[in-house]
Structure 1
Amino acid sequence: MILPIGNTGAIRRLPYISLMLIIINTVIFFAMQPMIMRDNDIVYQNYSEYLNLVALNMEIKGMDSFDSETLLKEFENPTIIEGDSLYDELKFAKEKFDESNRNHAFSKFGVSKSNLSIQTLFTSMFIHSDIFHLISNLWFLFLLGFNVEDIYGRINYLIFYILSGIISSFIFVASTSQYTQISLIGASGAISGVMGAFFVKLYKTKIKFFYFLFPIRPFFGTFFIYAGFFLPMWFFQQIYESASNSSSGIAFIAHIGGFLFGAIISVILSATKIEEKFISPRVNESSNLLRMNQEEEDGVEAYLDENFEKAKNLLMLHFEKRKTFSVFVPLFVSFVKTNEIKKAQRVMDMHLIELVKKDENAKINEILEDIIKAGVFEKVSSSSKMVFAKRLRDSGDIDKAREIIKNVIEDEKFTIMGYKILIMAYEENVLFQGIGEIADEFLKFSNDDFNEIKQKLIRRKNEKR
């Protein structure tokens, strides 16, 4: 098993539109299940009745009803004329079967040659046949959509997504026979457009894959492939499948059309400078951040390859001027891994001060999660640890806040900062197990310069008894 699970591209803010699309598609899928199950039962019942009559008519006519190819031909166009014994029953059963197909939710909300309208062009993008269909589509939207939304901005991305779905639907309808009643449903056409845009704009980005093999014993891990290699492979697979597998039930032609539309539009936006002049400035202004430049992209790539010396040098080139959020954690970790702890702490302290001033709480939380995942939280300075502790306390995660505060007090034992944090813990009621014993140790410590702050600690401690 090989499964794409992420990519090395950075995003600068929460991808609201992609998340909204994932939620809407999921809600619609589960909300429609009672209707779809009912329609499936009706279609299956009418199908069975019609099929049995077709098989019976074949036996009367002396044909082999067990020959699947002949049965299929007879199912589509029975050999029967008016006056035959089963003529009326067969005609009525076929009309019932056809009507139940037309009334099925997939036919009503999907798009086809006989059901092409503004409504179905839109609704078909939000209907999925089963849970696998839903998950496979939304997984690729999750993997790649966040980055494309980050490049083009939320509103532009939503327009682009919908247009990709509409264009892919038109291409599907144009490619089908006038006699075909198959309806197109699913978000894959729109998501293919997103994949096309990702290929053009982020072809150097690496896509991360998870593999799990068990030839003799379980063998698993991860590896990376450039988007500029993987996405064309996927695209040519769709062309091959479209040419060789017309009965699969998958609209490969819609995938091809959506991908080409997304790629072509992205090329046009870049070539005409529309993106540079009109889209990027607004997106950058609204996100209050700049996209990574080439050195920063190469630095992040070196970081992912664990070449921390190279990563540190590349990422630091523009950091003090640009302060690009996406490179901050890789830069901090690279300094730590090359044993430049003081520089790492200075970068962290400087960056967190700016985020606190701007009230960027979500970004502070994100940095904390990434630092913990990287296993370097203990290298963070005491002042930065207190910023994280306060964020955790404000967000309701008191236990983690207490743990960090306790560790900082122990690191800053018998320092002015240690006394101040102890007093703050009492004042703000962020008490932890053993705080009384630690306070007693601080009070017993002999230093005349600390007498005033000791008196304040005594008062706060007594207030909490």
Structure 2
Amino acid sequence: MLTPTTILLVVTTVVSLAALYLSPRLLEECAFRPYRVWRGQNLDSIYLAGFVHANLLHLTVNMWCLWLFGSELAERIGGTLFVLLYALALITSHIPTLFKEHDNPQYASVGASGAISAVVFAYIVYYPQSELYLLFLPIPLPAWLFGVLYLIYSVYASRDKSSRINHDAHFWGAVTGLVFVLFTDPAAWARLL
């Protein structure tokens, strides 16, 4: 059976691979460029950028996280809410970057990381005691602690102007996931607190 997670995985993978290997122009056209969007150009890139990735590692990590957290979350909240969360986060995670980088014609961002962060943080609200591992730390952390550390890191890393990673999208995607659950299932937050 095709779940929302499976469909998102397949579509994102196919589009990303096509952009990477068959049509680099597609990658360029879908990239979110705040400078252009601010000036009324390529408005659809605020959404489409989530379906193309910078390289195979970027795509693999995002799709692995989508599968890992998204499958269980979609089962918990239902396919409609899951797709709504994902689509909303693709947009909301880019808005702060739009304001921050609107005067920088060189800035571009691709990837679904903001939406993936929303999925991970919605998952954390529902499963705060799940054990998660950091790549460099072989001991499990409760999901809620992982979430706190991730948010702190994202704020810190977003200050690095030389980074090619949109840490603001990670942070605001996470916030979107938290707020989404607050509005769609306040009881989950009550259980968490």
TM-score by length of 1: 0.37
- Contact map agreement 1:192 1:258 (CA 8 A) in 2: yes
1:137 CA displacement: 1.0
Q: Which residue of 2 aligns with 1:182?
A: 107
The runs of at least 4 aligned residues of structure 1 exceeding 3 Å deviation read 104-107, 208-212
1:219-262 deviation per Cα after TM superposition (whole angstroms, max 9, x unaligned): xxx7532111112212211111112x221100001111111111
The aligned counterpart of 2:27 is 106
The match for 1:264 among 173, 179, 187 is: 179
Aligned to 1:34: 22
Partner of 2:142: 226
- In the alignment, does 2:7 pair up with 1:20? yes
Written as runs of structure 1 = structure 2, the 5 A alignment for 1:20-99 is: 20-32=7-19, 33-36=21-24
1:210 Cα deviation after fit: 7.9
Closer, same or farther in 2 for the Cα pair 1:205/1:183, shift >3 Å?
same
Structure 1 letter corresponding to 2:80 = I
The Cα shift of 1:105 comes to 3.6
2:106 counterpart SS class: coil
Q: Residue 125 of structure 1 contacts residue 185 of structure 1 at CA under 8 Å; is this kept in 2?
A: yes
Separation in 2, partners of 1:180, 1:156: 35
Quick one: distance in 2 between partners of 1:251 and 1:167? Answer: 13
- Count of residue pairs brought into register by the alignment: 184
Question: Which amino acid letter does the alignment assign opposite residue 247 of structure 1?
Answer: S
Give the alignment partner of residue 253 of structure 1, picking from 164, 168, 191: 168
Give, as a single letter, the amino acid of the residue that structure 2 aligns with 1:107: E
**Post-superposition shift, 1:146?**
1.3
Within-5 A mapping of 1:16-415: 16-32=3-19, 33-36=21-24, 104-116=25-37, 117-207=42-132, 223-243=139-159, 245-271=160-186
Distance 2:106 2:121 in 1: 29
Question: Measured at CA, do residues 192 and 15 of structure 1 come closer, stay the same or move farther in structure 2, by a change above 3 Å?
Answer: farther
Local SS of the residue matching 2:140: strand
Please say if residues 34 and 97 of structure 2, whose CA atoms lie closer than 8 Å, have aligned partners that are also in contact.
Answer: no
- Cα deviation, 1:29-86, whole Å, max 9, x if unaligned, reads 22221322xxxxxxxxxxxxxxxxxxxxxxxxxxxxxxxxxxxxxxxxxxxxxxxxxx
- The amino acid that maps onto 1:157 is F
**1: CA distance, partners of 2:86 / 2:156:** 25
1:224 match: secondary structure:
strand
Q: Which runs of 5+ in 1 are unaligned?
A: 1-13, 37-103, 213-221, 276-293, 295-465
Q: CA deviation at 1:106?
A: 3.5
3-state SS in 1 of match to 2:34: coil
CA distance 1:21–1:112, shift in 2 (3 Å): same
SS of residue matched to 1:183: coil
- Give unpaired runs (5+ residues) of structure 2: none
C-alpha distance in 2, partners of 1:210/1:30? 25
Distance 1:27 1:175, change over 3 A: same
- 1:177: how far off? 4.1
Q: Are the counterparts in 2 of residues 15 and 149 from structure 1 also a CA contact under 8 Å?
A: no
Distance 2:135 2:2 in 1: 24
Structure 1 residue matching 2:44: 3-state secondary structure = helix
Q: Distance in 1 between matches of 2:135 and 2:59?
A: 20
**Larger CA Rg, structure 1 vs 2:** 1
Give the 3 Å change call, closer, same or farther, for CA 224–160 of structure 1 in structure 2: same
Q: 1:178 to 1:210 in 2, by over 3 A?
A: closer
CA distance in 1, matches of 2:121, 2:162: 25
CA distance in 2, matches of 1:211, 1:240: 18
State the alpha-carbon separation in 2 of the partners of residues 231 and 157 from structure 1.
19
Report the CA distance between 1:164 and its aligned residue.
0.5
Deviation at 1:147, TM superposition (A): 1.9
When residues 239 and 209 of structure 1 are mapped into structure 2, their CA distance, relative to the original with a 3 A threshold, is closer
Q: Which amino acid aligns with 1:34?
A: L
- The 1-side partners of 2:121 and 2:58 are apart by 20
SS in 2 for 1:240: helix
**Partner of 1:203: helix, strand, or coil?**
coil
